[in-house]
């Protein structure tokens, strides 16, 4: 559960299915999203989809001429609902770290991909 941006109660939860967007250093790819469905996909399948999208992003970012160290990582979704029925603004994006993607796994993937693509991690 997270805090609802409307009622400010600890009543916001991630929907069972939706879309996750990856934003690194304020940059996002058009293809930097993946669909999840916790009712159909296993946790391993969700993590595999996440890792594949992260690798795509790092391959794309690795081709930049002037690469800044990785200092900001957002793994977000707008697919949340409030148990109090609040109408969440369509532009709201909440973090899915520790809700869908474990923080430890995210850190492992970041370290591995930074090493693979010769990027610095500054988080």
Q: What is the pTM of this model?
A: 0.88
Q: Give residue 103's pLDDT.
A: 96
Contact (CB, 8 A) for 37 and 17? yes
Q: How far apart are CA 45 and CA 52, in angstroms?
A: 10
Do the strands 17-24 and 33-37 form a parallel or antiparallel pair, or are they unpaired?
A: antiparallel
Q: How far apart are CA 88 and CA 97, in angstroms?
A: 19
pLDDT in tens, 85-109: 999 998 999 999 999 999 999 999 9
Angle made by CA atoms 70, 95, 77, in degrees to the nearest 5: 105
Q: Give residue 88's pLDDT.
A: 92
Contact (CB, 8 A) for 29 and 60? yes
Helix-strand-coil percent breakdown of the chain, rounded to 5? 30, 25, 45
């Amino acid at each position: 559960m997270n805090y609802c941006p409307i009622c400010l109660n600890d009543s916001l939860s991630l929907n069972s299915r939706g879309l996750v967007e990856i934003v690194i250093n304020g940059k996002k790819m058009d293809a930097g999203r993946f669909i999840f469905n916790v009712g159909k996909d296993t946790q391993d399948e969700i993590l595999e989809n996440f890792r594949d999208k992260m690798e795509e992003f790092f391959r794309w970012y690795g081709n930049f001429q002037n690469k800044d160290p990785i200092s900001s990582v957002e793994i977000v979704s707008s697919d949340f609902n409030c148990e109090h029925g609040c109408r969440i603004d369509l532009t709201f994006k909440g973090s899915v770290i520790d809700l869908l993607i474990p923080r430890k796994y995210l850190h492992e993937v970041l370290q591995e991909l930074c090493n693979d693509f010769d990027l610095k991690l500054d988080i």
